[in-house]
Structure 1
């Protein structure tokens, strides 16, 4: 027991960098401020991360191992694989790398939270965060109306998996869509009960945002349009807990 306590104390003093926006979210939620040596530049952009002011308290990196070597991290967090060369270099430099898979389900997200919390020496923080998710599960609304999550250009989400699970916790049921996309014609002919409209990069000049400006993409008189903070849906990590609590105010 004493050895485990010593290991936690040692981990709690680790210098940690994150090379991915999704691991930025985990690191900022689970580490102590003195441990964080770097987060990605994306976390510091208001258009990408809701708590960008917190992220700007720390040095930034460009998502590469080389950009953080000079900051002397002992642990580097990243996600999604494709970084074998970086992992090899990190081992040569004595830097531990945790490369998390992109979560496909809520259980994956809970596992990632627990793993990062343990790695940075704060398992209790991970337990508290996962307890908040469990509380959402226990209080999930009983009625889940037909819903389409709508992003730029008609992008949507799968009817199963992590996004759909977060939606269900908020009180919405994602409609199955071919290719996880919806057309303006579908919104006209078969409108959902709820149009959960992402505001990610709203107002930005792009083809996707021009599509979102079409009247049908804003909802019809047969749908109720509810806005959601699209930034939280990029990684669907810890920020989704507050987003779900906020969306529950609009659920039937």
Structure 2
């Protein structure tokens, strides 16, 4: 395994930021504040209601929270093409990823990832909405840190420990044989040999081949095919240039390589949904 990295630190509590107060931000704040003041009991204590503004935190929320805790997930979580959890996600109201779209639901915790507009941070603080902003994970340690942070915020530490235990078990039982592999997406897109994707691949016994620019050409697939061609099926039914590229015979594998199809949706966030996919890939690689 590559050397472990220090996990990124999530930002928890009220978002705070020092920003200039331009006219636009104050108009947005005034609009949301007016909505909040019109809601009955907005300042009263309420059972924990959690809204997520990012697909990756949608997945964490759906996997860790009690059903009664979920106030809203993003519209992407309702789409079959984006996440395996779409059926469960459709039990809850959706939002467009903005604070304005969920403030009327009166959440007392908002989850997001990768930061966001500073205006939104200041507005959330003024409305008394607690926030948890996770960094995009760069390592398996980061994935576990994100699970731990969300589970703690939800009061669901046991559920978090169970998910982390499954990742740890995959790491303990990592296959000794690592097969030369190219992860393949539309247009020849691949992943870095030291990326989070490659670290998940290693847990299934696949060693991502280093590629210049993290891409591979049809000519490279013909001249030097990998032992395993790990093809993402993300949006496979979509009509696009990238998908047409994947329909080329060489992108489907040659007699010198074995093609394995993987659920491209779980590679978007590369969070705990990867556990089930790695187990499936291990079984198929035998």
Q: Same fold (TM over 0.5)?
A: yes
**Structure-1 residue corresponding to 2:277:** 243
Is the helix fraction higher in 1 or 2? 1
**Structure-1 residue corresponding to 2:216:** 182
Which secondary structure does the structure 1 equivalent of 2:216 belong to? coil
Larger radius of gyration: 2
CA distance in 2, matches of 1:230, 1:194: 16
1:201 aligns with 2:226: no
Cα deviation code 1:89-118 (max 9, x no counterpart): 001100011111100000000000000000
Shift of 1:251: 2.2
Q: TM-score, normalized by length of structure 2?
A: 0.83
Gaps of at least 5 residues in structure 1 are: 1-11
Cα deviation code 1:43-101 (max 9, x no counterpart): 11000011200000000000001000000000000011133211110011000111111
RMSD: 1.1
Structure 1 segment 51-200 matched on structure 2, within 5 A: 51-200=85-234
Gaps of at least 5 residues in structure 2 are: 1-45
**Structure-1 residue corresponding to 2:73:** 39
Preserved CA contact (<8 Å) 1:172 1:251: no
CA distance in 1, matches of 2:134, 2:68: 23
Shift of 1:205: 0.3
Which secondary structure does the structure 1 equivalent of 2:239 belong to? coil
Q: TM-score, normalized by length of structure 1?
A: 0.94
**Structure-2 residue corresponding to 1:214:** 248
1:230 aligns with 2:264: yes
Preserved CA contact (<8 Å) 2:59 2:85: no
